[in-house]
Amino acid sequence: MRKKIIGLVLLICVMAAVGGIYLLTGGSGDGKEKETGKTKPKTAVSGYVGGEKIGFLEDEEVLSILGEKYGLEVDYSKAGSLDMMTADLEGRNYLFPSSSIALEYYEELHGSPVQSEILLNTPIVLYTHKIVLDAFDSQGLITKDGDVNYVDMAKLVELIQNDTAWADIGVPELYGTVSVDTTDPARSNSGNMFAALLADVLNGGQTLTPEKVDEILPQLQTIFGKLGYMETSSSDLFSQFLRMGVGATPIAAGYESQIIEYAMLHPEEYESVRDDIVVLYPAPTVWSAHVLIALDDAGKTLIRGLQDEEVQKLAWEKHGFRTGNYEISDKELGVPGIADNITQVAQVPSYDVMRRIIDGLR
């Protein structure tokens, strides 16, 4: 009887030991399933983002880095850079507008954010078509540096203000007068930055000061007033430019990053329009600084994640945002006419000046 009891006890001990090993190894016997089968729960981050950065935030490589290294699961809603500042921020962890002007607007409305950092940069460019480039070139508006085209903004503004017909500069195929389509400058950053550029040009090439706003603002109102309906998203305007052709949108103001991203992510579609689409660098242009505004600790973690060296490299090579010292030629990008360096840059007027311009253009 005693031997039976001892045997039973030994059997129970062996079974307990085997069960313990099974639990420790996740049932595989080698422990590998435990290491790879369980993943840490991710922190969901939600916010508003300008449409031109959606491709970047949907990039699987970017999301993988943010998830694996920083434990983040990123969600977003599209909004114009200025519109998002007045949107309902309940449940949002971050805002990702396209300029420091938007950050100052946030601070005016809500006070200082938890943290803010400029993460991406891209200059304002003009997108047009070859027949427009040829016409501008014949009128002395274009300076070439290799395959890079620069447009004299003072001369372009003169054509716009004089209601110059397209036919008058050798493009009878186009209806109406010379103009540049932009997003709504009171709601979206690319239109707002183009308004800032125009303000400096109208001010004789000098940064517009508070004392001169009353002189320049009526001229801006006239220029933008001729455009009629304006998109509220830079990505929507760029898509319209690509889709509708030269007759509907002869020139559109946008970000340099947009054509690079389009060529990288949609090579077949880009190839079909490559010979017609032209990038014009305004001389001068202005930089658009894409700043992430963290509303809480989760937003701060997103800033760290987007500052990751691998993420920053992807931002330039796949999405066209100038992020630092990463170099890649226009041949590698597959987009002709991309400048190696941006040298002719105007200073964006102060927030107080831009606020008056925004209010005046509503």
Residue 95 lies in a domain: yes
Q: Which residues pair with 143 in a beta bridge?
A: 150
Find the CATH number of the domain harbouring 320. Answer: 3.40.190.290
What is the full per-residue pLDDT of the chain (362 aa) written as tens digits?
444 444 444 444 444 444 444 444 444 434 333 344 456 789 999 999 999 999 999 999 999 999 999 999 999 999 999 999 999 999 999 999 999 999 999 999 999 999 999 999 999 999 999 999 999 999 999 999 999 999 999 999 999 999 999 999 999 999 999 999 999 999 999 999 999 999 999 999 999 999 999 999 999 999 999 999 999 999 999 999 999 999 999 999 999 999 999 999 999 999 999 999 999 999 999 999 999 999 999 999 999 999 999 999 999 999 999 987 656 555 667 799 999 999 999 999 999 999 999 999 98
Cα 92 from chain centroid (whole Å)? 19
Residue 36 lies in a domain: no
Answer yes or no: are the C-beta atoms of 235 and 98 closer than 8 Å: no
Residue 22 lies in a domain: no
> Token pair of 94, please?
């971050």
The pLDDT value given to residue 334 = 77
Q: Among the residues of the chain, which ranges form H helices?
A: 2-24, 32-37, 54-57, 60-70, 100-110, 130-138, 153-161, 189-202, 213-225, 234-244, 256-265, 267-273, 297-306, 309-317, 330-333, 351-360
Residue 188 lies in a domain: yes
Residue type, 12: I
Distances (CA, A) of 164 to 160, 161, 199, 206, 259: 6, 8, 20, 25, 28
The pLDDT value given to residue 293 = 98
Residue 30 lies in a domain: no
Q: Which residues pair with 285 in a beta bridge?
A: 345
For the chain, what is the domain count? 1
Residue 4 lies in a domain: no
Residue 254 lies in a domain: yes
Instruction: Give the residue numbers spanning the domain of 77.
Output: 43-360
The pLDDT value given to residue 323 = 81
What one-character-per-residue DSSP string does 98-150 give? S-HHHHHHHHHHH-S-SEEEEEEEEEEEEEEEHHHHHHHHHTT-EEEETTEEE
Report the distance separating Cα 173 and Cα 158, nearest Å: 21
Nearest-5° Cα angle at 80, 245 to 82: 135
Please name which of 219, 212, 235 lies closest in space to residue 49, comparing C-alpha atoms: 235
Report the distance separating Cα 266 and Cα 237, nearest Å: 17
Residue 13 lies in a domain: no
The pLDDT value given to residue 333 = 73
**β-strand pairing of 287-294 with 115-129:** antiparallel
CB atoms within 10 A of CB 48: 22
